[in-house]
Amino acid sequence: MKTSVFDGELIAPLPRISVQAFCETAEAAAVIGRAFADRRMERTHAKVQTGGAAAAVETFRNAPTPNVILLETAAAHADIVSKLESLAEFCDSGTRVVVIGAHNDITLYRDLMGRGVSDYLVAPLDELDVVRALSKLFTQVDADPLGRIVAVAGVKGGVGASAVAHNMAFAVARNLALQTVIADADLGFGTAGLDFNQDPPQGIAEAVFAPDRLDANLVERLLSRCTDKLSVLAAPASLDRIYDFSENDFDHLVDILRGAAPCIVLDVPHVWTAWARRLLVGADEIVLVAEPTLACLRNAKNMIDVLRAARPHDAAPRLVMNAVGCPKRPEIGLADFSKAVDTKLDLTIPFA
């Protein structure tokens, strides 16, 4: 059975931890610095310093150690062990140490693991190697696989992004036989409930407005089951309250949804707020929906440029062109549209 919706490795975001790296070379410091800027590291408090193991010992001689220490060293086996023994004198209980070394030596690796080192990485590394290693430290071995977050948004209002999101989720659930959840983030005007003939008394609003009570059991009660494989976390589509959110208000809900199903489709409304931008940037895959018009061209280019800059280690957003060939409407050619936004079209849906 196919286990993922889209191609690409799934690396879990890190929790709210502190990480300090101590590097001996400028190259390693630069790579680790870029890794710390990755979207999966945004909740961490991370810092890069130079000086290697000696600097780490001096830093923590009179200061508490962070959750994770990254230590780069080009030393030989015996010297690495000696440096770690010096550092161990000042490490607090629970601190994890990851060593980045220059020698691909299985004997060294086993020795370090036996001494309590959490991981040993061989240089040179790229940014995702660092993020992947840190993420694995906080992923339980026997935990269920994390679900993939797919955020769908229109580059302009009324281009059919919700229809694309809902049909995509239905197709994944039916054709791939994967448990799939649609989370409708357009609380005031969302249509997921209408499209799937669901009218739950509670839904995503209950989850977002009750963060203290939010857990996996509450989310399971709020989900409306449409088929054996498809569930909807519907929007209230009511205007009796104002839906103003802070940037982090959806974080806990998204974390819980990752453990609820292999595929989670976020139907993100066409707004540019801190929380909407965070949902897009934090997703594993982004699908942007546009029509071949000048306004969509401008907006698509702006959104793709911003999202690419915010996600340098992820694939570019996927672009779906909807309602192509609408009668009596001036349209931009698909090849010209694709060239202007510097993104290939993943799917073209004709006007019907």
Segment 28-44, tens digit of pLDDT: 999 999 999 999 999 99
Determine whether 84 is exposed, middle or buried from the number of CB atoms within 10 Å of its CB (0-12, 13-18, 19+). Answer: buried
- pLDDT score at 82: 92
Residue-level pLDDT at 227: 94
pLDDT at 143: 60
Q: What is the pTM of this model?
A: 0.87
Residues facing 148 on adjacent strands: 263
**pLDDT digits over 90-137, tens only?**
998 889 999 999 989 899 999 999 999 999 999 999 999 999 999 999
Share above pLDDT 70 across residues of the chain, in percent, rounded to a whole number: 96
User: pLDDT confidence of 210, banded at 50, 70, 90?
Assistant: confident
Which runs of E-coded beta strand occur in the chain? 18-23, 45-50, 68-72, 96-101, 119-122, 148-154, 180-184, 224-225, 230-233, 263-268, 285-290, 318-324, 345-350
**Apex 179 CA angle, 176 and 185, nearest 5:** 115
User: 146-177 b/e with 16+ CB inside 10 Å = b?
Assistant: bbbbbbbbbbbeebbbbbbbbebbbebbeebe
Per-residue pLDDT reduced to its tens digit, 285-311 = 999 999 999 999 999 999 999 999 999
pLDDT band at 3 (very low <50, low <70, confident <90, very high): very low
